[in-house]
Every structure is written in C-alpha cells, then in structure tokens.
Structure 1
Amino acid sequence: MNGTLRAVSSPSFNASSVNWAEKNYLVVDDFAGIRQLLRESLRNLGAKNIDQASSGGEAIVALGRTRYDVVLCDFNLGDGKNGQQVLEEIRARSLLLPSAVFLMVSAEKSVESVMGAAEHQPDAYLIKPITEGVLLTRLNRVWHKKQVFREIDQAYADRDFLRAARICDEQIQLNKIHEIDLLRMKATLLMKAGEPDKAKAVYERILQEREFQWARVGLGKIRMANGEYEAARQIFQGIIVENRFYMDAYDQLAAAYQHMGQHEDACTILERAAQISPNSVTRQRSLGQVALRLGNYGIAEKAFRKCIAVGEYSVNKTPEAYFGLARVCGQKNETKEALNLLLTAQREFSTDLVQLRAKITEGLIYHESGDFRRARLTGDELEQMLNQNPERPDVPTCLELATLLFAVGVKEAPVDLLCYVIRNNHDNALLLDDVQKIFDKARMGDEGNRLIMASRKEAADMMNQGVLLWKTGKLFEAVEWMRGARKALPNNLRILFNAAQILISTLQQKGYDDALAAETAEVLRHVDKISPGQQRFAQLMEQLAQLNPARDLAPEAASS
C-alpha cells in the first residue's frame, strides 16, 4: 500500500474479452416485449443462461434461489415491489455478491425516482429508450470494474469479513487501477468486522490523497460509534454543505443530533432530506418518530402516512409507522382510525410482540383522548400479563408499557420494568435520560433518579466481580459467576461480551473444550440477535474459530 493512490478509470474492453456465455442473468420487467428485447440484446453478447421475472416479487424469489452475475431491472414494475424496492431488498439481504452487476433500467427521469434508486447504489442507471450499443457498453464497463471483487465473494458470502479485507490487500497489489474501490470495500468490511480503528486508518489514507465524501462519511460514522457526536456532526454538516444530495449524510447528521438530545434539529434535518428523496421508508419512519416525540403532529402524520404508502412492498416495512400514526390520530381524537390502524398492524405483522405493542398503544390512545376508563382496563390487562410472564419485551416496548402503566395509576409494575431496562443497559446514557423523563412525567423524578443510580450500580458490580475473578486467574469461578450474571441480566451487552471473552480466555489457557466453545458461540449468537453489528462480535467469533479451525462457527452464527 505504499505510493500514491490512483483513481484511474477502467480501460475500454470489447465484449469479446468476456465469456458472457457462462454468466447467469436475470431480466426484470413487467412488459413481456421489453424483457424480450433485453433478452435478445444479451443473447447477442453470447449469453445463454437468462432468467426472467415479470414483477419485483418474482425477482426476489429468483434472487433467493440463484446466484446471478448480472441483473437488469426496470424501475416501474406495476403492482407490488418497484425496482428501487428490489434493489433495497437485495442490499438488505445480500442477495448479490460484490462482483455481481445490477443495472437499473427506467423511463423515469424525476429527481424523486432517480434519488430513491441511487441511495441503494445500482451499478448503473440507464434511461429508456436505450440502444443495444449503450446497454452493452455500460454492462461491459461495469462488469470489468466489478470483477476485481470476485476473489472477495466467498469470504463475503460466509460473512468472514476480516478474511475478505485481507483479500482486498492482495487484490490491490494485483489491480492498482482499482485501488480506490478496493480500499473502500476494505474499510466497509473492517467496519462490519468490528475493527473501526483499522477502518479509520484506511479512510484517513484515502483522504490524504483525495477528498472523497464517502471516506469522510466513514470517518463520521466511526466518530459516532466512539460517542464523539459533536465531531461527527461537524463532518456530516460539512458534507451536506458541499453536496446537498448526499442523503446518507443527512441521516447520520440527524442521528448525531438525537444522540446529543437535539431532537428539533434532528427533525429539521430529516424533513429536509425527506423533501429531496421522499421514497425512503426508513427516513420517513425516523422523521415521524422524532416529530411525534416533539409533539409536532402535523409533520409526524405526513411522514407516517408517506412511510406506509411507500413501504407497502418494501423489505424495510415495519409496524412502527402504523403505531406512530395511531398515536397521532389519538392526539387528534380520531380514535376510530387509530384503532383501525392497530388492527391493520396486527394483521400485517402477526407476532406476539406486535400484539403486545398494539395493546399498549391502544391504552395510550384511550388515555390521550380522555377515555380514562378504557385506558385503565387496558392497563390492568397488561399488568396481569406482566405478572404471568417473567420474560420482558424489547426496550422500546418496555418504555411504552411503563409510560402507560404510570399514566393509569399503577406504580410497582412500571418501576420494576424500568429498573430491568436500566440494569440491562446501565452504560447507555441516552436511554437512561429517556427513563428519567418517564419517571419525571410520573412525578417520581427524585425517586426515579435514586432507582437509576442503584440499578446501574447493581449491574456494574455484577459485571465487575466477574472481571475481577478473571483478571486474578480464577477462570472457572469467573465463568460460573458470569453465567449467573447472564441469567439475571440476559440482555446486558457488556456482561454478554465480557462473559464471551472470559470463556475464550478459559479455552486459551485451559485447553479446548467442546461444551465451553458451544456456550461461547451461544452467547455471541444472542448478542448478534439482540443487537446486530456490534464491534466486538466479529473479533470474538474469529478468536473462537481460531481455537478450533476445524469448526466453522462464524457462518453458523451468521445464519442463526
């Protein structure tokens, strides 16, 4: 990696330089005639293995069944998923390998449509009508650029991101012309693998040579991960000043503002972003949630309705927009529509958690609209459910449930619920602030503060005792202690990570043991389930795999 980085364009290639016959193709268009024209254009290249899909849903099924080398997808696909949503799901589910090519084909020229598709980074965006020559030229150019990642494909598919990053270094030596693209991929892989310091070094090296905005965004995300929110804010703000169409910078800037407690600024930024690129389901949902928190029901309603509309066929569709819009309708005393939205959410997302959240939201709607009798009946029902089931839901649901129970006059159950949340998240300052606000609203500010301090200390003491046993060489005692800590606080990430680290140290120092290794993998899989993308996850999984190379534990964890 010595010498100056070079951002050099790929040389021109002839179609004859690629063996197009051995590639797998998918053509996606709702018009049979267009599919036939694209199919013939590919056949003129020599292509043989060409599948077709007439809708976004068919395309996703095909992509889940076959590893395609090239996908040609129209933007407008009639009823169901459009091309943007197909690409969105491909990225979310990793249905294409890094070396595969995705070409978006469309007659759409509006900023709204082009921006929506561009956010998910197709390899090219072709405007209809397109000639065979244009198609083949663009395909050829993109294909050769993407093939530098072919050696990385298998490691990426196995989610062995550290190995994939090492292959990037090997490819840089062989393909200096694509050094920038490979370094960008390497930094992304290092972030996925939980190696932010190494990713930071890659981004900084790139920026020494040339001011790439994506590298600055990468540095900003690392600052965010390290809790340096003001420094991250300055980075993202600067990028937006230079390029008002860099949508990821808006989302990251809004997140930085929220981490700093500046929710009005976050709302303003998300509103600006939604005006530029309105078809992002996740952005509209975030805007609605921030606006609802601020009591700006006009913005919240608009955002949630847009989220529901554009998310109908999106992989990012969740019940949050339905619950949020129901809360807005409750504030407007439109109780009938609010309850219908809850029924829709339960029908669309038929899980136990959604049923619980719908019941909580129903109680909040009754309370906020002044129907205190029904609110109290709902609260009594939920309190009974809590007493019968010791398992607790996720953090947002716990907070909403505690809010409702306090509102209808219950005290003991919501206090227990919030103390549970604190003990499992004892070092999350932003969340602790939200818990304090719930206590304040219930007129329990001072008592709540004391409960927060006591619960934090309980969790920290429990964790520290296990670490102390480990550091003083009492490995088996430390393992046993952390088992008890995990049972008491099953979702405390710091306790889980420390438990995994202590188990790995025991395996390193006392010898490999199948039962302990399986226990370690189970702990790490639980971490990845409750909070995917944690920095230490990939590091610890690799350490565990190295202790017994014959066992491929990392892919097992990824598929769970």
Structure 2
Amino acid sequence: MNAALNPPAPALDQVDWAGKNYLVVDDFIGVRQLLRESLRSLGARNIDQASSGGEAMALLTRLRYDVVLCDYNLGEGKNGQQVLEEARMRNLLLPSSVFLMVSAEKSVESVMGAAEHQPDAYLVKPITEGVLLTRLNRVWRRKQVFRLIDQAYAEKDYLRAARLCDEQIAAQRVHEIDLLRMKARLMEKSGQPGKARDVYEKLLAQREYQWARAGLAKIRMADGEFEQARQMLQTVIAENRYYIDAYDQLALAYQGMGLHEEAAAILDRAAKLSPNSVPRQRNLGQACLRLGNIALAEKAFRKCIAIGEYSIRKTPDAYLGLARVCGLKNDPKEALQLLLAAQREFGADHEDMPLRAKITEGLVYHESGDYRRARKAGDELEELLRSNAERPDTATCLEMATLLFAVGVKDAPVELLCYIVRNNHDNTLLQDEVQKIFDKARMGEEGQVLVRAARKEAVDLMNQGVLLWKTGKLPDAVAWMRDARKTLPNNVRILFNAVQIMISHMQQRGHDPDLDAEAHGILERIDRLQPGQQRFAQLMEQLGALLPQAAAPQADPPAAEEDGAAAA
C-alpha cells in the first residue's frame, strides 16, 4: 500500500480539534452558545453559527466544514434532516467531514427520518462535553479510514474505490466489516455483482448481517429472481421491522412480480414507520393511484407536498398526482389550482413542466367527465408533437399516449409507444406496460405487431454498428453509432455500445480529446437516464486508462443482438 496516499489514521489524542472549521446549527441561541462553549473547551477556534436550515445551507455553500453540529428541529423552514439531505446531494460536505445530528426528539419517526440520510452520529440532548468529545473522536477516526474511498466514490470511480477498500482492510482490521460492506456496494456499481455476492456470502457465513442479506436480495432482483429476493427481504423485515430500506426494496420486488397491490401495501407500512421521506410518499401515491386506491393516494400526495416544501427532493410529481386524484374525485377546480401551483413552483427548473401540466389537465378533464375540454387538451398535445421532434421522458410519453387514445387520437399515441419500445428494446416489463395501453385502446393484436417491429428496428440499428466494428471499420462504426444516437437518444444499450466503440477506436488509433469528451458526455447522459448502470463504472475506468501516460486495458467488444435478446 502506498503510505503517502493512504496515511494511517491518527491516534485519538493526536486529533487537532483547534485547527478545524465548525458549523453549529440550532434555532435557539442558548443551545448554540452551549455547543459553541463545548467545542471551545476542545480547543476549537473557527466556529460559525446558523439559526435556521436556510442560513446553514448558505454557509455550507460558502465553506467546507470539518464538523457540523445540526439540530433536528429548526423551526420554520428546513429541518436538520433536510439540511443533511441537501448537503449530501449537492456535495457540500467533504468526504472527511463529520455531520452530527443533535436533538431532544426521541420519537421513532424523527430518529428514523434522520437515520435514513446517514448522519455520522445522532446525539440526544442534553450533551455533555465528554459525550461530544468521545463521539467526535470515534467518528473522526472512522472518517479518515474512508476519506479517499469516499472521494473516489464521489468521482464515480468505483473500481478505484474498491481497490482502496482492500488496501484499508489490510491496514485497518478494526473497520473490516464496514469496509467489506462498502466494497460490496462498489462491486455492484462497477458491474461485478458476482464479486459483490461473494462478499455478502462471506460475511453471512460469519454472522447474520441484515444489510448483507438485503444486499444479496438486490442482486437477486437485478438478475430477475424476484421471488427469491422477496423471501430474503421478508426475512430481514421480520428480524428488524425498522430496516426501512428493506421495505423499499421489497416493494420493487413485488412490482417486478406484477404484484402491485402488495407493493403499495409494503410502501404504506414503510411510510407509517418513517413518514418524512419525500420519495417514499411520492412512490406510495403513484402506486395507489395506479391501483385506483384514491383515498390512500390522496393522503400520500398531500403528505409528500407538505414535507417536501423545504426539501431538495421536492418534485412536481406529487402536485400532478394529487391533481389526478382531484379529477377522479370530480373536483377539477382544485386540480387546476394544483397544476397552476406546479407550474409556478417548478416551471423555471423543469423544461417539460408545461407539457406535463397539459397532459394532466387533459386526464383530469377526461376523468371528471368533461370530454370536450379533454379533447381540446389532446388536440393541443398532438400539435406540440407535430411541431417538436424531441420527445419527453418515458413516463411522460406513456401518460400522453394514454390521454391521446382516451380522447380518440390514434396515430400520435402509436408513434409515442413505438418510440418508447425502440428506446427500451430490452425492457420487457416496460413493453408489457406499453402492450396494456394498446389493449386498453382496443388495439391488442395490432399493438403486438407494432411492439415487435419497433424492437427489431432498434436491434438492427445497433447491430449494424457492431458489424462495422467487428469488420475493423472503426471510423464508420463511430459515425454509424453517432447517427443511431440521434435516432434513439434514450436507448441506453445503444449509448453504451457507442462508448465502447469509441474506446476501441482510441485504443487502436491513439487518444483523441474530442472523442474522449464525446464519450464522457454520453456516459453522463446514461447516468441521468438510468443511474447505477453496471457498465458505467467499467467504461469510465477504460476511458481513464486511455489518457496519455496511462496503460489501457483492451475493451470488450460490444455484443450484437438477436431480436428480443439481452443487450451487451
């Protein structure tokens, strides 16, 4: 191991608390002063204070703090959970930073909500200087072990992070279990689920770690083994009813099995245990809306809007979903107010907001029985499709097709559904959803033919590029895949194979800065479309190895497909 790159963790009595930057966040000045004095007794000099979540975010944006002490309840505005959530998502904390959640709140709801965003420790008031020092020392030492690993993870260099885990395991046996847990997650992200499975199984042979069992279940789901994953996750929940992530994963397993009522029920159980998660309430609302459980959908969407007011995870989905609920309840007036609120709140940050609002407006009118206005919204959408070659995301296309069929339009929704299939030609679950929309429109047999033809078109388009690669016509292969990307800009398999061919081109003909930048741009698009894809980390590392003075491993050839086969 390179000692210069991986310095040993400092002894507890060697931590220089005096030279670090601190942020104390609490809405009561007396508590801030007490915490400030406790830090000063450790020798701290550079201590900033914030009286609200908004003030804390402004300070975190300006300076990288070594230690953050943040109260959970901060009065009006963001709470401590939302401060931590946003700081993590915006990368405002250094890998070595310590975030301590402080609260007098002992309720399961508050503790669970904070714990889901993984503060380094949760301290219950009142806090003595001795407790504070003990926690700081313990957490700081652990953070130094993971500092370089976290940095590599933040840079999405998962394979380097995994190698750093191995190096630290050799030097830091006391943290071996945590390092193995991190390594398993990295193996999954870097496209090596088999190695992740080996780590989890090795750990489970020693002791029944619930997180290892849940990790194995995720790998089973990725392999399509939903029933096995279901059994494993139910075992985890039976042993620890507060393991919230297991509930979310179990809901995904049920959805993969087509058991949507069971998925909604498990999300409802999770939301009762930890109700302050914006994504979970949104997912629960959408699952219930799909099932026609209007009462529970309304409850979930209203909760989502309430807790999301100051959250970085605030989303228009809850507003649009609640508008749909109002339409089903024959209350178009509130529905239209919600749509106006959504456009006011999110219009500046979401380019497709007017389109999504118009789709929801049409659905609301149709579901409340105002077919004339529903048809008018459909005509406006059809005109938008004719005048704009770009298509929105998959979920929006599905909703638009559903509305257009409902108001009597045929050609435009057919084109949308075929577009979805071409861009997701290896996603059988999504193709089943497309087929259900055709069936509902009384186009079942015709839909089957259209789905097969669209899938074949995408496969043929990709295979032609692979053929050019295999026959050594690399410039032609790169150009072909560039055109394929223009035709199917959201087909992740085509995007991946385009990058693979670019890598092969540079391996044989030398590094090309323009091609390198183009390949990185494609990978960034993939990560936005479908984050966490297995090939992402492998191709990122291969691109990194192509930089001058780096030794480049040979790229695996992109695989051709037969109609309906899995992509490379």
TM range (shorter): over 0.9
Give yes or no for the alignment of 1:84 onto 2:81. yes
**Who is 1:272 aligned against?**
269
Deviation at 1:157, TM superposition (A): 4.1
Give me the whole-angstrom Cα distance separating, in 1, the residues matched to 2:94 and 2:150.
6
One-letter amino acid of the structure 2 residue matched with residue 535 of structure 1: Q
- C-alpha offsets along residues 309-364 of structure 1, whole Å, 9 cap, x if unaligned? 11111111101011111101100001111111111111110133111100110000
One-letter amino acid of the structure 2 residue matched with residue 482 of structure 1: M
**Who is 2:100 aligned against?**
103
Give me the whole-angstrom Cα distance separating, in 2, the residues matched to 1:153 and 1:64.
19
Secondary structure of 2:122's counterpart equals: strand
**Who is 1:123 aligned against?**
120
**Who is 1:498 aligned against?**
497
Q: 2:239 aligns with which of 227, 237, 242?
A: 242
One-letter amino acid of the structure 2 residue matched with residue 72 of structure 1: L
Give me the whole-angstrom Cα distance separating, in 1, the residues matched to 2:133 and 2:231.
43
Secondary structure of 1:427's counterpart equals: coil
After superposition, the Cα gap between the structure-2 partners of 1:517 and 1:140, relative to the gap in structure 1 and judged at 3 Å, is closer
Contact 1:28 1:55 in 2 (8 A): yes
**Who is 2:183 aligned against?**
186
Secondary structure of 1:352's counterpart equals: coil
Give yes or no for the alignment of 1:25 onto 2:61. no
Q: How does 1:451-462 map to 2 (within 5 A)?
A: 451-462=450-461
Deviation at 1:470, TM superposition (A): 1.8
**Who is 2:346 aligned against?**
349
Give me the whole-angstrom Cα distance separating, in 1, the residues matched to 2:391 and 2:293.
31
**Who is 2:284 aligned against?**
287
Aligned residues: CA RMSD: 1.9
Contact 2:316 2:346 in 1 (8 A): yes
Unaligned runs of 5+ in 2: 2-8, 551-568
- C-alpha offsets along residues 183-209 of structure 1, whole Å, 9 cap, x if unaligned? 222223333434333322222222222
Give yes or no for the alignment of 1:381 onto 2:380. yes
One-letter amino acid of the structure 2 residue matched with residue 450 of structure 1: V
Deviation at 1:549, TM superposition (A): 4.5
Contact 1:13 1:140 in 2 (8 A): no
Q: How does 1:158-557 map to 2 (within 5 A)?
A: 158-350=155-347, 351-549=350-548
Secondary structure of 2:99's counterpart equals: strand
- C-alpha offsets along residues 375-398 of structure 1, whole Å, 9 cap, x if unaligned? 111111111111000110001111
Give me the whole-angstrom Cα distance separating, in 2, the residues matched to 1:223 and 1:498.
25
One-letter amino acid of the structure 2 residue matched with residue 238 of structure 1: T
Secondary structure of 1:80's counterpart equals: coil
Give me the whole-angstrom Cα distance separating, in 1, the residues matched to 2:382 and 2:513.
42
Give yes or no for the alignment of 1:66 onto 2:53. no
- C-alpha offsets along residues 290-314 of structure 1, whole Å, 9 cap, x if unaligned? 0000001011011111111111111
After superposition, the Cα gap between the structure-2 partners of 1:435 and 1:286, relative to the gap in structure 1 and judged at 3 Å, is same
Contact 2:435 2:447 in 1 (8 A): yes
Deviation at 1:65, TM superposition (A): 2.7
Deviation at 1:471, TM superposition (A): 2.4
One-letter amino acid of the structure 2 residue matched with residue 252 of structure 1: Q
Contact 2:86 2:311 in 1 (8 A): yes
After superposition, the Cα gap between the structure-2 partners of 1:97 and 1:349, relative to the gap in structure 1 and judged at 3 Å, is same
Give me the whole-angstrom Cα distance separating, in 2, the residues matched to 1:148 and 1:118.
21
Give me the whole-angstrom Cα distance separating, in 1, the residues matched to 2:436 and 2:69.
51
One-letter amino acid of the structure 1 residue matched with residue 147 of structure 2: R
**Who is 1:554 aligned against?**
none
After superposition, the Cα gap between the structure-2 partners of 1:518 and 1:352, relative to the gap in structure 1 and judged at 3 Å, is closer
Secondary structure of 1:51's counterpart equals: strand
Give me the whole-angstrom Cα distance separating, in 2, the residues matched to 1:38 and 1:159.
36
Deviation at 1:550, TM superposition (A): 6.6
After superposition, the Cα gap between the structure-2 partners of 1:22 and 1:153, relative to the gap in structure 1 and judged at 3 Å, is farther
**Who is 1:147 aligned against?**
144
TM-score w.r.t. length of structure 2: 0.92
Contact 1:97 1:157 in 2 (8 A): no
Contact 2:10 2:141 in 1 (8 A): no
Give me the whole-angstrom Cα distance separating, in 1, the residues matched to 2:287 and 2:361.
20
Deviation at 1:215, TM superposition (A): 1.5
Give me the whole-angstrom Cα distance separating, in 2, the residues matched to 1:154 and 1:408.
52
Give me the whole-angstrom Cα distance separating, in 2, the residues matched to 1:549 and 1:24.
38
One-letter amino acid of the structure 1 residue matched with residue 169 of structure 2: I
Deviation at 1:459, TM superposition (A): 0.7
Give me the whole-angstrom Cα distance separating, in 2, the residues matched to 1:513 and 1:159.
22
After superposition, the Cα gap between the structure-2 partners of 1:73 and 1:41, relative to the gap in structure 1 and judged at 3 Å, is same
Which range moved further: 460-469 or 277-286? Answer: 460-469
- C-alpha offsets along residues 52-78 of structure 1, whole Å, 9 cap, x if unaligned? 111112222222332222111101001
Secondary structure of 1:26's counterpart equals: strand
Give me the whole-angstrom Cα distance separating, in 2, the residues matched to 1:268 and 1:390.
40
One-letter amino acid of the structure 1 residue matched with residue 362 of structure 2: G
One-letter amino acid of the structure 2 residue matched with residue 242 of structure 1: E
Contact 2:302 2:322 in 1 (8 A): yes
Give me the whole-angstrom Cα distance separating, in 2, the residues matched to 1:211 and 1:438.
44
One-letter amino acid of the structure 1 residue matched with residue 177 of structure 2: I
One-letter amino acid of the structure 2 residue matched with residue 246 of structure 1: Y
Give me the whole-angstrom Cα distance separating, in 2, the residues matched to 1:198 and 1:145.
25
Contact 2:77 2:310 in 1 (8 A): yes
Secondary structure of 2:352's counterpart equals: helix
- C-alpha offsets along residues 150-173 of structure 1, whole Å, 9 cap, x if unaligned? 343543443323222212211111
Contact 1:107 1:127 in 2 (8 A): yes
Give me the whole-angstrom Cα distance separating, in 2, the residues matched to 1:148 and 1:517.
33
Give me the whole-angstrom Cα distance separating, in 1, the residues matched to 2:109 and 2:446.
50
Deviation at 1:12, TM superposition (A): 13
**Who is 2:559 aligned against?**
none
Identity score, percent: 72
Give me the whole-angstrom Cα distance separating, in 1, the residues matched to 2:177 and 2:136.
21
Give me the whole-angstrom Cα distance separating, in 2, the residues matched to 1:67 and 1:335.
48
Deviation at 1:13, TM superposition (A): 7.5
TM-score w.r.t. length of structure 1: 0.93
Deviation at 1:222, TM superposition (A): 2.0
Unaligned runs of 5+ in 1: 2-10, 552-560
Contact 2:64 2:93 in 1 (8 A): yes
Contact 2:226 2:257 in 1 (8 A): yes
Secondary structure of 1:108's counterpart equals: coil
**Who is 1:556 aligned against?**
none
